[in-house]
Amino acid sequence: MKRITGTAVLMLLVAAVAAAQPASPVPPPDAAFAQVISVTGTGTSQVMPDRVTFNVGVQTVEDTVDQAVNQNNAKVAAVVAALKKAGATDKDIRTANFYITPQQQYNNQGQLPRIIGYQVSNMVFVSRNDVASAGKMLQAAISAGVNQASGLNFEVSDPSKGRDDGLRAAFNDARGKASALAQAAGRTLGKALSITEGSRVDVPRPMPMQKMAMAEAVSEVPVESGTSSMSYTVSVVFELR
């Protein structure tokens, strides 16, 4: 008959006690995520624009390229001179595009089209940090010979303007959504654990302009800049209680 030593008895007792202890519950892998809520909020701010931009140009059509270009050059030079006389500087004006297009006549006999003239167009881009001068600038350009215009826009030169108000509005929007969802789930909303800023989106109020017909006398163009709307987004993770 084998003897049981004291050490062996002690080991058996330890094993018995361990087996009698209930197993600790293992939390599910996503238990930590069940205690937070993630939402995205948006907010906007209204800012008065401080820059105006627009395109004006001259289109001419003549029998030959030389005639069309020379006539166009003279008219565009007059437009640029008029803009500068109205207050624009060299840095406010730049050429946007210049192109020559042959005018072709087609027939029904299957023959190749015949060139009957040439069209020349020269567009000038104007950018001014003086919104109030927009009407005066347009009046001067049209009076000098402009017969094309487009892209009248009012912009905000400093991107930080209205930023704080927009971000606060976006966060409040996110908190409001999270509070509604927490209440629907029978929980209460805790503190914000993380905040991520999204990209800012400018929503300008463009005033498109169509081709203008020349008149004997051109009055100042009525222009209203209004306000520019800037939209912000934030993603926020809130604690759930």
**pLDDT tens figures, 77-94:** 999 999 999 999 999 999
Mean per-residue pLDDT for 69-79?
Answer: 97
Residue of 201 and 131 predicted with greater confidence: 131
Q: In this predicted structure, what is the pLDDT of residue 230?
A: 85
Tens of pLDDT, residues 158-213: 878 889 999 999 999 999 999 999 999 999 999 999 999 987 666 545 444 443 44
Of the pLDDT bands very low, low, confident and very high (cuts 50, 70, 90), residue 216 is very low
Q: Report if residue 170 sits inside a domain.
A: no
d(CA 103, CA 71): 16
7: in domain: no
The total number of structural domains that make up the chain? 1
Q: pLDDT-based confidence at 60, cuts 50/70/90?
A: very high
Q: How far apart are alpha carbons 166 and 233 in whole angstroms?
A: 8
22 domain-assigned: no
The answer to the question of residue 10 being in a domain is no
pLDDT at residue 211, rounded to an integer: 39
Band of the pLDDT at 156, cuts 50, 70, 90?
A: confident
In a domain, 172, yes or no: no
CATH number for position 88: 3.30.70.2970
Tell me whether residue 182 is in a domain: no
Q: Is residue 131 assigned to a domain?
A: yes
pLDDT at 229: 82
pLDDT average, residue stretch 202-226: 53
> Which candidate, 131, 174, 211, places its Cα nearest to that of 42?
174
pTM of the model: 0.63
Cα–Cα distance between 80 and 85 in angstroms, integer? 9
- The confidence score (pLDDT) of residue 169 equals 94
Domain coverage including residue 124? 47-156+204-226
**116 in any annotated domain:** yes
Amino acid at 186: G
- Distance (Å, rounded) from C-alpha 195 to C-alpha 197? 7
